Structure 1
């Protein structure tokens, strides 16, 4: 049954419109009669009572803003009449207990993954080619051109055929039919893959490694080490110039910190040592090809769900994200915690306002203190350059109902469910403990997904209410829509639709089950995430400056 309005938490003093409401309409909610003072678009919020200037706005049971002027009962809240406000936070204030969800039906379920020598299990089997410095980006691109088509990893580009057809018709003088040609009318076929058990060779480029701070280069090497260590990676080819800050020795050190007895093959070539570009590329291509023949010997085998490490991300969020899609991810996170798996919640600027709730869920005082320290340092660095977490919501967020960072954060945090927080990770630190970990990263979608893959995520769940095509080179990114309209409008990027929660067709628990089943199919290689089908390989290392 479709309800017209929703009160998310009993403490809230605003209601969420689940459908467009017009000024003058009468809304009945739990015996309360509200005559709408203004029109309220779906996803936006309106007052349940008259409010004075400076009054506190509550959503999700926490403070998310304050009024800038007096508001009438039934008035929509906007950026013109409320501003961001949050409650202060300190260390742990109370003990925490948790009732895990019922997961008996999932305990014996498995996925088919690639078992690595260190005990990790990948949901895919990739080879990496990555530079230590931006000077080598061109050589990485040359290797990409040499490998992907010849080995059958290139995905057909329908737009190439579209341009070819348009060119032919133009040369034939048939200008009238140019607008009638579309990619759906043209046939494309890709080359057959040479290596059947390798999902792809991923060629990463970036603009770091030199010229920035030494800390940036250290972090870049740690991130690349995390990518090599990711269970979805069989091995890597690393290109170095030679004189840059991000030295091969630093990368080797970071790998040794992860595992002193590291067994994955890592090929490192240095251009200034090899001499000509031709010499280096010959060696790199020959060594990489031989390594691929070995990586192709690996095959999928059954693994328990406890071997999943799931990143929890949101981007292009709307006013329904915190009601449908994000709580569905939270349900999956709780289920996986109960099964002994790992989940990662990142995007620290989007935890602003929910800090105390998260602190109270930390299993140790040390973790609680680390979270406080990282959050305060991040907020201070933003404020030092004239910004702040309150500037986090994007124009799209605001247009669709997320009008303060606290409102956005309160909904975003629902991705982390209700389980204990077992670890606090700084950027590039690995998730090693079963349960939910918090990872310090920006709210920027790609910087955050890049970070989670570097911290070990072998699947990423990504909720969106507006639509975003973000993907990752080595970790499947499963897109979860918050509403029916988006799923119908952009089916090429949406994998799972939780809009049934808004329409009253499904519960959060039902969507959690549906999502976990979908994860198993993707993790087993039986279906592909839409981002992988689109070849959406986004990779942006975070320079430890200000990025919200």
Structure 2
């Protein structure tokens, strides 16, 4: 897309037989496409697609240069693509030896840049310095909540008191007999300043509440243990408090064993409290607060120091996607990914249900046959599991996705895969498996926003770039999540949760490469603590373990 050129529609790939509307186009409008006059047969809303030629029943629908669907009814030239006339279809895939050549981007602008991070003894560098509370079983969730309430405001980690003040104002109005239906939301006095953070170098105290650890299957508890171990070992975590009931499936020693198996060099402080061995609940909670407070004084001695950009590990994710996702935000993040890989950093792409239709391109980019075969095996096992319960990857698009132009899973997936840029795939990681190689790695997770970000952080992401066209507040307890909007209308309407706006790409004001470089600049500042992403500011600490069941 050329700079300063305003377009009303776009062909993404020369082989595509559909055009994407970049603005609302009315029925009857005449457009010219490669010398041919096309009359629109329907109203085409921005983000939706219309056809260049007539399509017969069974004809292939091509987008991004690949098969994304087939016509289920006759579709006239200029007709709107809908779920009523197109259903999901994707090409078969297999390993084929391809001499893939990557066009490495110019990183001259970034090669000498650094970020200020927390250096760990094992050589990794964190973008934050957190203390982590981990329950081995859901029975301890309430105790975590009590401790969180005690620590957050006192130590300066509360986000805001404005809702508390709002509720107090409502109560006063109620007691005075005021008609609450006329209560004005904007008439409240400004919230009082919150307490300053006591520990300057402790970026937060995080709590991994979950619903596992007992009941279910032993396999569920074992997988949860591996996930919790991954979070304890995360480069952004400096110390851990473990709360255990005592009798649950997931025993504390199992968790400690998984931590050591994952990282034999692990040397972070781990404080363990078992309720069935304590004198009382009060004694347990006070002891946990006291010893954690002492631990906070120690990790506060850590300070940010310069590190090369090769020490970054960035996850790329999309959620609440729309018809612009594969045109603006995802390709821009993809260029950021390529810059990072060229600089020697690590990039993680997950969401296997949202790679359906993009498999062959990914396979052709794998550095060797074992890597490709591992990807194929995990994809096929996952899809087979979904079909076994009457579902499938084709059922991934949500009602919101479809409403905003993502008609089939293959359309959604081929656009989603753009987040990974064009670099070679150096590794394929199963759920919770740690990243070890510089370059682009795939991580097996569901497409579900929180399950995917949870898994990406478990593999080692120290920042996550999260693109969205509809808006989502998703965050993560230990990995700062940066929200990238596909369009300016969203970035303006939900400015309280959006960090970066890529709408300038749609308007032709910036190129994908320009925006990708800007996103990397933002990442460097976020990794250095100079900018705090909105999800972090709001303590949006979403954490959902995946039980390896069907989740799209």
Provide TM-score, normalisation by structure 1: 0.98
Task: Specify the SS of the correspondent of 2:489.
Answer: helix
Counterparts of 2:169 and 2:376 in 1: how far apart (Å)?
A: 58
**Structure 2 match to 1:247:** 251
Structure 1 pair 485–197 and aligned structure 2 pair: CA distance change class (3 A): same
Summarize the alignment of residues 114-513 of structure 1 with structure 2, pairs less than 5 Å apart. Answer: 114-175=118-179, 178-182=182-186, 185-513=189-517
Structure 1 counterpart SS, 2:466? strand
SS of aligned partner of 2:142: helix
- Gap runs ≥5 in structure 2: none
- Whether contact under 8 Å (1:314, 1:462) holds in the other structure is yes
CA drift at 1:253: 1.9
The CA deviation at 1:183 is 7.3
Question: 1:152 Cα deviation (Å)?
Answer: 1.7
| CA drift at 1:177 | 8.9
* Structure 1 SS opposite 2:153: coil
* Whole-Å separation in 2 of the counterparts to 1:256 and 1:542: 22
- Conserved? CA contact 1:162–1:182, under 8 Å: no
Range with bigger deviation, 282-291 or 506-515: 282-291
Gaps of 5+ in 1: none
Contact 2:310 2:344 in 1 (8 A): yes
Indicate conservation of the 8 Å contact 1:309/1:344, yes or no.
Answer: yes
RMSD: 1.3
CA displacement at 1:155 relative to structure 2: 2.1
CA–CA distance in 1 between the matches of 2:497 and 2:99? 41
CA distance in 2, matches of 1:310, 1:454: 12
Which residue in 1 is equivalent to 2:107? 103
Contact 1:113 1:302 in 2 (8 A): yes
Residue 37 of structure 1 corresponds to 41
Structure 2 Cα separation of the partners of residues 246 and 378 of structure 1: 26
* Aligned-residue offset at 1:256: 1.3
Q: Which of 90, 93, 118 is the aligned partner of 1:89?
A: 93
Distance, in Å, in 2 between the alignment partners of 1:321 and 1:460 is 16
Contact conserved, 1:17 with 1:42, CA < 8 A, in 2?
Answer: yes
Deviation, structure 1 residue 164: 0.9
Q: For structure 1, which segment, 93-102 or 266-275, has the greater mean C-alpha deviation from structure 2 after superposition? A: 266-275
For 2:16, the equivalent position in structure 1 comes to: 12
Q: Kindly tell me the number of residue pairs found equivalent between the two proteins.
A: 548
Question: Does residue 538 of the first structure (1) align with residue 542 of the second (2)?
Answer: yes
Residue deviations 1:307-345 (CA, integer Å, cap 9, x gap): 110010100000000000000110011000000000100
Q: What CA distance in whole angstroms lies between the structure 1 residues aligned with 2:96 and 2:292?
A: 50
Q: Which residue of the partner structure matches residue 60 of structure 2?
A: 56
Task: Determine which of 58, 68, 73 is the counterpart of 1:69.
Answer: 73
- Alpha-carbon contact 1:166-1:181 (below 8 Å) kept: no
Alignment partner of 1:83: what SS?
strand
Distance in 2, Cα, partners of 1:90 & 1:246: 39
SS of 1:344's equivalent in the other structure is strand
TM-score (norm 2): 0.97
Which shows bigger deviation, 284-293 or 334-343? 284-293
